[in-house]
Structure 1
Amino acid sequence: MYPASIRNEATRLRDAGESWSGIARKLGVHRSTLRDWQAGRSARTNDCAICGPCELDEEAYAGLLGFYLGDGCVSRAARTYFLRVACDATQPGVIADVTDLIRRVRPEGRVFHPRAPGVTVVQSNWQHWPCLFPQHGPGRKHERPIVLEEWQRRIVKAHPASFLRGLFHSDGCRVINSTKRPVAGVMKEYRYPRWQFVNASGDIRELCCWALDLVGVAWRRSNPRVISVSRREAVEALDALIGLKS
């Protein structure tokens, strides 16, 4: 996604006789993207109030939005913004997934992996991350309203499985519950899987429930902060939609 000023400058430079390579070096935009702009082939999906029309891989964005709401943040730096998603260092599959989603949403950018004890942070620097995640702001997410813009809701409706994968693979877990019941006078133990989504923000929990409703997966509230998917058929359906964390 690029602001209208960059597109206009690219047009001005091209009209002045600048080569695609020269414009790409000056503006930091891939030559193929510049040519697509001129040919009018850009797949514009929404209008950002700050950047203007933008290009977006919607399926990747839906997943990244889920990860952002779960364990992500957007923070200000001197000349740009950082998108950071904290991942369990023992789950390389999740780290690879977040990395891939960021690269699909912003193909021109670089992805970094700073580390802390037990954690690998997937990070990308870009001045327009706040445009893609208008939910960012000071303080913790559960201390402020989290409401999706209409264009974000449209994307989640189109790609609920990706959104749910981001939520459950960040702030969720798949556990094995056990219970004992008497059968013919003998106590038997039964074990069954369950997905749980845990988040302190009531707004984010509601978004999780809304997305589960979109795909027809039954859920219930285990306690005020936990959304559980426990029925066998519901667990199997969610497994198929989002895969297991690894």
Structure 2
Amino acid sequence: MLDEEKYAYLLGSYLGDGHITMGPRGVAALSIICADAWPGVAEEVHDALHAVIPVSSVCAVQKIGCSAVKSYSTHWPCLFPQHGPGRKHDRPIVLEPWQQAIVDEHPGLLLRGLIHSDGCRITNWATKRTPAGPKRYEYPRYFFSNKSLDILDVCAAALDRLAIAHRRPRWDMISVAKRDAVARLDDFVGPKY
């Protein structure tokens, strides 16, 4: 039986920084690229890969500044039917009905995977004029960026499902900046580790 919670997280990670390559005899390698700066994210991806297909082997291939966390199975193309030739932003990315049902049930975990792969939580700052002079204030903010409009729409739909206010400051970015929205997203994502 599919671990839907781990799958929702893994789907977000795959849509952000993942790809599938086909090997001999139909064995596919699902790779999620994880930055060395966030070892906890790589560990979480490793655990999700193992939970979704427990009989597959999982390994990490070190690269410069990152590692490819990989798992091998003939089932990965079935579990990620968005797989195809070329870059994800050059082809349609549409969730299958069974995937959408999982995302609808676990939108926070999908967002966690998306932000762990192609997002960040930063401390933003601004200055405000006051009678005593300019005053600097800081506040937390999330960004998610991707060149695929379809993947941005998947992210926005998950945010909408959780009633988290967001906007698109650029065509390839989603921002969550309102205090209550950031606090709500913190419940699911929080800082990378």
Identify whether the pair has TM-score above 0.5, normalized to the shorter chain: yes
Structure 2 unaligned residues grouped into runs of 5+: none
Alignment correspondent of 1:26: none
Alignment correspondent of 1:94: 41
Q: Distance in 2 between matches of 1:182 and 1:162?
A: 40
Code of the aligned partner of 1:168: I
Q: Distance in 2 between matches of 1:185 and 1:94?
A: 44
Q: Which has the larger radius of gyration?
A: 1
Code of the aligned partner of 2:156: C
Code of the aligned partner of 2:187: A
Alignment correspondent of 1:73: 19
Q: Distance in 1 between matches of 2:163 and 2:44?
A: 24
Counterparts of residues 167-206 of structure 1 (less than 5 Å): 167-206=114-153
Alignment correspondent of 2:178: 231
Give CA-to-partner distance per residue, 1:38-73, whole Å, 9 cap, x none.
Answer: xxxxxxxxxxxxxxxxx2111111110000000000
Structure 1 unaligned residues grouped into runs of 5+: 1-54
**How high is the TM-score relative to the length of structure 2?**
0.98
Alignment correspondent of 1:131: 78
Do residues 58 (structure 1) and 4 (structure 2) align?
Answer: yes
Say if 2:121 and 2:190, in contact at 8 Å, map to a contact too: no
**How high is the TM-score relative to the length of structure 1?**
0.77
Secondary structure of 2:60's partner?
Answer: coil
Identity over aligned pairs, percent: 48
Code of the aligned partner of 1:145: P
Alignment correspondent of 1:112: 59
Q: Distance in 1 between matches of 2:11 and 2:159?
A: 15
Q: Distance in 2 between matches of 1:243 and 1:204?
A: 21
Secondary structure of 1:83's partner?
Answer: strand
Q: Distance in 2 between matches of 1:133 and 1:193?
A: 33
Do residues 244 (structure 1) and 178 (structure 2) align?
Answer: no
Give CA-to-partner distance per residue, 1:63-117, whole Å, 9 cap, x none.
Answer: 1000000000011112211000000011111001001101110111111100101
Q: Distance in 1 between matches of 2:116 and 2:94?
A: 21
Give CA-to-partner distance per residue, 1:18-39, whole Å, 9 cap, x none.
Answer: xxxxxxxxxxxxxxxxxxxxxx
Give CA-to-partner distance per residue, 1:169-218, whole Å, 9 cap, x none.
Answer: 10000111111111114111111111000000000000000000111110
Q: CA RMSD in A?
A: 0.8
Alignment correspondent of 1:145: 92
Runs of 4+ deviating beyond 6 Å:
none
Instruction: Tell me by how many angstroms 1:242 deviates.
Output: 1.7
Code of the aligned partner of 2:15: L
